[in-house]
Structure formats: C-alpha cells, structure tokens
Amino acid sequence: MDMDALKRQAAARALEEVRDGMKLGLGTGSTAKHFVELLGEKVRSGMKVIGVPTSEATRADAIRCGVPLTTLDEIDHLDLTIDGADEIDPALNLIKGGGGALLREKIVAAASDRMIVIADDSKWVDVLGRFPLPVEVIPFGLGATQAAMARAFGEAGVSGQMIIRKGRDGHVFVTDGGHWIVDAHLGRIGDPPRLAGLLSVIPGVVEHGLFIGLGSVAVLAGAQGIRVVERR
C-alpha cells in the first residue's frame, strides 16, 4: 500500500471521532489535507461543523471542499484538532513544522480540548530528532538568536547544524506570519520538554516545533492496519 493511501486511512479513522456541531482545528500538511477532503464529504452529506484552519493552504482546501470556517477571534475554544506530525514519540511528544505552519498549528492545538495526530507509521520514533526541528524566528537579529539557540541546545545536551529554510524558488521561506524558519539537525533529543522550555524563552524565537503535552491520541496507519495510541 502506498504512503498516500495510508495517510488517507489515518484521516478516515480520525473522522470517526467527529460529531455533529463540533468546532474543529484543521491541520496543515499532506495527511491533514486528506482529513479536510473527507470532512468536506461529510459536510455535503449534512454534517454541521465549523473549522479553524492552521494555514492559508488549509483555508483554501477547506473552502474548496465546502467546510465552513471561523477564527479564534470569533470562538476562543475548539472541541478537537486533527493534524499530522513529522515525528511522534511514545509519550506523544511531536515534532511539527515541516510544512512551515507550526505557529498557527500550536495556537490552534492549545485552544482545543483534544488533539488527534494522524500519520502513517513511519512517523513513529523511539526518540525525537531524526527529523530536523523547525524553529520559527524573527529575521531581525538572527545571528544573536541562533547563538542563543546554540546555547540552549548545549544546555539540553544536543547539538547540530542550523539551516535557514529555503523555498522551492531558492529564496528564504517565509511563514504565513511573515517569519523565517531555522531547521536544526539535532539527531536525537533526549529531553524534549527541557529543550522546548529553553527555546521558548529566547526573544527572537517566535515558536518551535516541539509539541509537548498537546497530542491526546495518535492514529497511525501501516501495512498491518490502524494503530491508536493514547497519551500516557
């Protein structure tokens, strides 16, 4: 079975948790895109839901699929967010941000009662860090911010190359919020909560891709079927 089919299976399983009248956070990325498309089918069949998209790309997908949208200015609390992840560990700590939407994704997840993480089972890892950690930064003072990030990595017992993300056009990638992303190639992150705390207090860091304590359930699709893991 190809990877795209597995992603759609995970999205379909998460859709079973959606109830009429729910306020939903709509994630970003290839797996979340499947969820939005499947949700659109339910909406066209009469399901009443409203969604908050985590990126301009997801907003466009939701409009195309007929999913009604709102904002966190109109409603300040969501019942459920469904989103993908770049890595998931056994404590359901996540690395997110490969698609560049980590700031809005974290705001939406934090405003939700529950977050279901949908992925193919290749995203499941024993220790986070094989996937580069995205850190969203303000361009001003970038050198000082990266020096502070390097110190934070040292305190957390990790190290690695920091690369400013480029877009497909070769120019610096700019997030929906107008920021840049530094991808930190750390290898293994032994204590994700500690690193998350150290990065969060750096003034030039807008947000980082460590999602700690936000994922409630992971739905993982693999060759052997669907596996559902709840946060311990």
Indicate which residues carry an active-site annotation: 105
- Tell me the chain's radius of gyration from C-alpha atoms: 17
For residue 30 the two structure tokens come to 């290839």
Count CB-CB contacts under 10 A for residue 229. Answer: 15
10 Å Cβ neighbour count for 113? 12
Give the DSSP H or E segment for 73.
none
Closest CA to 78 of 156, 24, 135: 24
Q: How far apart are CA 69 and CA 87, in angstroms?
A: 28
The two three-digit tokens of residue 80, written as one number: 């459920």
Based on the number of CB atoms within 10 Å of its own CB, is 170 exposed (0-12), middle (13-18) or buried (19 or more)? exposed
